Amino acid sequence: MSKGKLKVGVLVSGSGSNLQALIDACAAPDHPAEIVLVLSNRPGVRALDRAKAASIPSVVFDHKNYADRAGFDADMQQALDEAGVEFICLAGFMRLLTTAFVEHWSGRMINIHPSLLPSFKGLNVQQRAIDAGARFAGCTVHFVTPEMDVGPIIQQAVVPIHDDDTGDTLAARILVQEHNIYPACLRWVAEGRVRIEGERVFLDGATVPDAALLNPSLEKSD
């Protein structure tokens, strides 16, 4: 019996460029995951247009209409269940989730964050990395646990910080890498190759690089 594709729900709040990267990756006929629902807490965002253009059902639960997080999460849960969602990708989703919701999806929900976690959790992280004098920034795909921007890390991409970087220029270069690693991580998960052991994640058949990155690079002496 052939196993079906992993049914994925993507939670968004904004532009949805990571959603687009996931949509594009899942469009490959051999991709082991399919996006069955896009869920937004904000009406009218570009991510919803992207879902529509890809003929993916979407639903909006405007958080402003809810008195508490529990009610909001319960409605999301119902929509996810009705769509048969088995796995969640948070893609620029800007709402804190209740512990009950996160625990229900434990090991079945991942997030992308534009820093090298565990450094720079929260907001405005690209500018904060520059201001802290860091030489490298980057992005992280991790499993979601109740604490924000914490959880076993699947993959990271390192992006050097340039002397003339602003938060925006650095964010743009990090975003390019986000679009690489998020679809890769979803594929690995859907292929059943990702194993969580405590705080660590192991990927069957992973290629681990030896080379270190230096910033600035060493100068060549002839």
Q: Does 18 interact with ligand GRF (rule: CB under 6 A)?
A: yes
Q: Residues 51-90: x/- map of binding to ligand GRF (CB under 6 A)?
A: ----------------------------------------
Q: Residues 97-116: x/- map of binding to ligand GRF (CB under 6 A)?
A: ---------------xxx--
Inter-CA distances, 102 with 74, 82, 155, Å:
12, 18, 20
Residue 20 and residue 18: Cα distance in Å, rounded? 5
In which residue are the tokens 């090991």 written? Answer: 107
How many amino acids of this chain bind ligand GRF (CB under 6 A)? 12
How many separate helices (H) and strands (E) can be counted in the chain? 6, 9
Q: Does 16 interact with ligand GRF (rule: CB under 6 A)?
A: yes
Q: Quick one: tokens of 61? A: 């639960």
Q: Does 178 interact with ligand GRF (rule: CB under 6 A)?
A: yes
Q: Does 92 interact with ligand GRF (rule: CB under 6 A)?
A: yes
Task: Name residue 179's amino acid.
Answer: H
Inter-CA distances, 176 with 89, 114, 180, 196, Å:
18, 11, 7, 26
Residue 112 and residue 17: Cα distance in Å, rounded? 12
In the complex, what is the shortest distance from the CB of residue 176 to ligand GRF, in angstroms, rounded to a whole number? 11
Tell me which residue has its CB nearest to ligand GRF: 92
Q: Does 183 interact with ligand GRF (rule: CB under 6 A)?
A: no
Peptide bond into 160 cis (omega under 30): no
Residue 106 and residue 113: Cα distance in Å, rounded? 18
In the complex, what is the shortest distance from the CB of residue 144 to ligand GRF, in angstroms, rounded to a whole number? 12
Task: Name residue 172's amino acid.
Answer: A
Nearer to ligand GRF, 92 or 151 (CB): 92
Nearer to ligand GRF, 70 or 172 (CB): 172
Nearer to ligand GRF, 76 or 112 (CB): 112
Which residues are designated catalytic?
A: 113
Nearer to ligand GRF, 17 or 77 (CB): 17
Looking at 10-18, 51-59, 63-71, 158-166, which segment touches ligand GRF (CB under 6 A)? 10-18
Contact between 3 and 192 under an 8 Å Cβ cutoff? The reply is no
Residue 190 and residue 33: Cα distance in Å, rounded? 6
Q: Quick one: tokens of 6? A: 């992993």
Residues lying near ligand GRF in the complex (CB under 6 A) are found at: 14-18, 91-92, 112-114, 175, 178
